[in-house]
Amino acid sequence: MANRRPRPQELTPAELEIMQIIWERGGTFVNDILAVVPEPKPAYTTVSTIVRILEKKGYLAHKSFGKSHEYYPLIDRESYTRDFMTNVLNNFFGGSPARMVSFFAEKDSISVEEVDEILKILKK
């Protein structure tokens, strides 16, 4: 059996917000993250704690520069999105894309134009 890295845990909303910034910036420091987080800005220690949690979960690694750490992603946004959506599809819709589209269509969350667009994508 091949050695596979364990699948990281799903991100919380706060973790996802930080990961979005890191994915956009690549390697970055906590102060740089804090500079672009929208108001109301969390405390430095809050961002630092979230970054360390993300590192523990396997999403980030860091390079040390003295007492500072530059954090960089170990998992790209596309891989996370694919895994997340596969889990949603399997856990809520029995692995059926049709059930998922039907769910959103029934809830008026999706327009007829969007359904047509999905059908065009699926036909490719």
pLDDT tens-digit series, residues 9-31: 789 999 999 999 999 998 899 99
Residue type, 62: H
Name every residue whose Cβ is closer than 8 Å to that of residue 20 and which is 6 or more positions away in sequence.
77
Return the pLDDT at 8.
Answer: 59
Least confident of 19-23, 89-93, 101-105, 120-124: 120-124
d(CA 34, CA 19): 12
* Identity at 58, one-letter amino acid code: G
Q: How far apart are CA 40 and CA 61, in angstroms?
A: 27
Q: Which amino acid is at 53?
A: I
Rounded distance between C-alpha atoms, residue 110 and residue 117, angstroms: 11
Reported confidence tier of residue 110, pLDDT bands at 50, 70, 90 = confident
Q: Give residue-wise pLDDT tens across range 33-90.
A: 999 999 999 999 999 999 999 999 999 999 999 999 999 999 999 999 998 888 888 9
Q: What is the DSSP string of 50-91?
A: HHHHHHHHTSEEEEEETTEEEEEESS-HHHHHHHHHHHHHHH
Global pTM reads 0.76
> Structural domains in the chain?
13-73 (1.10.10.10), 77-123 (no CATH)
Q: What is the pLDDT of residue 24?
A: 95
The tokens for 94 are: 């029995």
